[in-house]
């Protein structure tokens, strides 16, 4: 039995070594400095280049989520369809929902909130930069369609250290694109977000153009097309690619970078890298962190402040993306960990200790309510 266990461990270790080497090789093909059309981009893998952070002053963490985000369960169902273990895990939860409430899970309308509070998310990213890289840290959290996290952090933190940022859900061309907007002006941010959400509810292209043009005119704002090749709305790959190309053709002058995602596969990130070259835009690292694992993709910079970093990207189109060691782990394993983080018991979470208090689902009348309320109601009615 001991020999079998040792063999299993050796095979798994060999598999992980080969995987890390393949990923590093494919990304290393991008590590040389490229200057086509004045775009300068460099990519490194920390597990292969442990000295990559040397010479830099700061690391920037972009695109992290907090419990202020409303996260659709659609993408979890999509991943579960691809990975059997995730599908099995979710089927357990679905069967429990049917037993306790007689309500079948609607992944399209239901949503959950990530486990970390704004302060916990900020500290998680900041600590990784300080402890793993020994650099100064800049953290820009981007919840979906709201800026509550930044506003709450700025009550207790230095306002200059907490940018007001957001991930905007943008209906476009029969699809949905996600745009990361970083460092919104504090005085105008609420009004800007209200107008953005007005467009989302009633999408008219001229409003989208006006919003992006206004933000692009502000030199301290960074506009990023997040995970541009992820068909997050399930529109179909052809329609999604058509929407991205149409968007870039009409509004691409307002986009400063494409995102290489810490929770996207290396195949997809390589395709994004090539697409960015076609459109002559920079690439930038974004973690898209939803659980308790810190961002797997950071940005190295000589800048001492966020506006200086933004200037590097916008004015000089110069970026230095660093993939952290957790990126080399299998994607299915990391996605499963996100699900486990989201469903873990969290006694200090203000939204509720149990996962079903942090997951919202339509009741029989279509109103969104915590699953815990739906289940309690069913249990009371059965007595």
Asked if residue 9 is part of any domain, the answer here is no
Give yes or no: residues 244 and 305 share one domain. Answer: yes
Give yes or no: residues 102 and 175 share one domain. Answer: no
Q: Give the pLDDT confidence score for residue 363 in this predicted structure.
A: 83
Asked if the model's pLDDT at residue 36 lies above 70, the reply is no
At 195, which CATH number? 3.20.20.140
Q: Does residue 347 or residue 49 have the better pLDDT?
A: 49
Over pLDDT 90: what percentage of the chain?
A: 63
Give yes or no: residues 321 and 209 share one domain. Answer: yes
Give yes or no: residues 209 and 77 share one domain. Answer: no
Give yes or no: residues 102 and 147 share one domain. Answer: no
Q: Give the pLDDT confidence score for residue 369 in this predicted structure.
A: 87
Give yes or no: residues 306 and 203 share one domain. Answer: yes
Q: Give the pLDDT confidence score for residue 144 in this predicted structure.
A: 96
Give yes or no: residues 128 and 204 share one domain. Answer: yes
Give yes or no: residues 352 and 203 share one domain. Answer: no
Cβ-count burial of 148 within 10 angstroms (0-12 exposed, 13-18 middle, 19+ buried)?
Answer: middle
Give yes or no: residues 308 and 243 share one domain. Answer: yes
Asked if the model's pLDDT at residue 167 lies above 80, the reply is yes
> Tens digits of per-residue pLDDT, 215-249?
999 999 999 999 999 998 888 999 999 999 999 99
Asked if the model's pLDDT at residue 358 lies above 70, the reply is yes
> Tens digits of per-residue pLDDT, 109-153?
888 899 999 999 999 999 999 999 999 999 999 999 999 999 999
Asked if the model's pLDDT at residue 65 lies above 80, the reply is yes
Asked if the model's pLDDT at residue 10 lies above 60, the reply is no
Structural domains in the chain (count): 2
Residue 34's pLDDT band, with cuts at 50, 70 and 90, is: very low
Over pLDDT 70: what percentage of the chain?
A: 82
Asked if the model's pLDDT at residue 1 lies above 50, the reply is no
> Tens digits of per-residue pLDDT, 273-320?
999 999 999 999 999 999 999 999 999 999 999 999 999 999 999 999
The pLDDT mean for the chain works out to: 86
Task: Select from 294, 312, 333 the last residue of a domain.
Answer: 333
Q: Give the pLDDT confidence score for residue 339 in this predicted structure.
A: 83
Asked if residue 167 is part of any domain, the answer here is yes
Predicted TM-score (pTM) of the model is: 0.84
Asked if residue 10 is part of any domain, the answer here is no
Asked if residue 84 is part of any domain, the answer here is yes
Asked if residue 16 is part of any domain, the answer here is no
Q: What is the mean pLDDT of residues 249-266?
A: 97
Give yes or no: residues 251 and 357 share one domain. Answer: no
> Tens digits of per-residue pLDDT, 368-380?
888 788 766 544 4
Give yes or no: residues 155 and 85 share one domain. Answer: no
**Domain range enclosing 307:** 27-69+114-333
Asked if residue 3 is part of any domain, the answer here is no
Asked if residue 371 is part of any domain, the answer here is yes
Give yes or no: residues 125 and 272 share one domain. Answer: yes
Asked if residue 31 is part of any domain, the answer here is yes
């Amino acid at each position: 039995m001991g020999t079998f266990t040792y063999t299993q461990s050796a095979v798994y270790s060999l598999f992980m070594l080969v995987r890390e080497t393949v990923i590093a090789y494919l990304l290393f093909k991008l590590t040389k400095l490229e200057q086509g059309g004045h775009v300068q981009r460099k990519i490194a893998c920390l597990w292969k280049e442990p000295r990559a952070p040397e010479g830099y002053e700061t690391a920037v963490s972009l695109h992290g989520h907090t419990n202020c985000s409303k996260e659709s369960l659609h993408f979890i169902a999509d991943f579960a369809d691809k990975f059997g273990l995730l599908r099995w895990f979710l089927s357990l939860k679905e069967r429990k929902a049917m037993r306790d409430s007689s309500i079948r899970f609607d992944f399209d309308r239901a949503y959950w909130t990530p486990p970390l509070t704004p302060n916990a998310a900020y500290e998680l990213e900041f600590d990784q930069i300080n402890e793993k890289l020994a650099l100064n840290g800049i953290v820009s959290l981007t919840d979906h369609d709201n800026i509550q996290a930044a506003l709450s952090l700025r009550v207790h933190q230095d306002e200059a250290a907490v940018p007001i940022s957001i991930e905007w859900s943008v209906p476009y061309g029969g699809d949905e694109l996600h745009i990361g907007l970083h460092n919104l002006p504090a005085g105008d941010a609420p009004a800007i977000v209200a107008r953005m959400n007005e467009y989302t509810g009633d999408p008219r292209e001229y409003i989208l153009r006006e919003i992006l043009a206004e933000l692009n005119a502000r030199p301290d704002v960074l506009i990023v097309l997040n995970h541009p090749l992820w068909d997050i709305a399930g529109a179909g790959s052809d329609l999604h690619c058509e929407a991205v190309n149409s968007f870039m053709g009409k509004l691409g002058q307002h986009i400063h970078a494409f995102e290489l995602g810490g929770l996207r596969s290396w195949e997809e990130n390589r395709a994004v890298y090539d697409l960015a070259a076609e459109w002559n835009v920079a690439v930038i690292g974004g973690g898209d962190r939803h659980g308790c694992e810190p961002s797997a993709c950071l940005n190295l910079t000589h800048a001492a402040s966020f506006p200086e970093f933004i200037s590097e990207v916008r004015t000089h189109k110069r970026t230095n993306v660093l993939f952290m060691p957790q990126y080399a782990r299998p994607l299915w394993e990391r996605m499963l960990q996100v699900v486990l983080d989201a469903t873990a018991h969290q006694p200090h979470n203000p939204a509720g200790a149990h996962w079903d208090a942090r997951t919202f689902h339509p009741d029989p009348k279509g109103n969104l309510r915590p699953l815990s309320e739906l289940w309690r109601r069913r249990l009371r009615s059965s007595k």
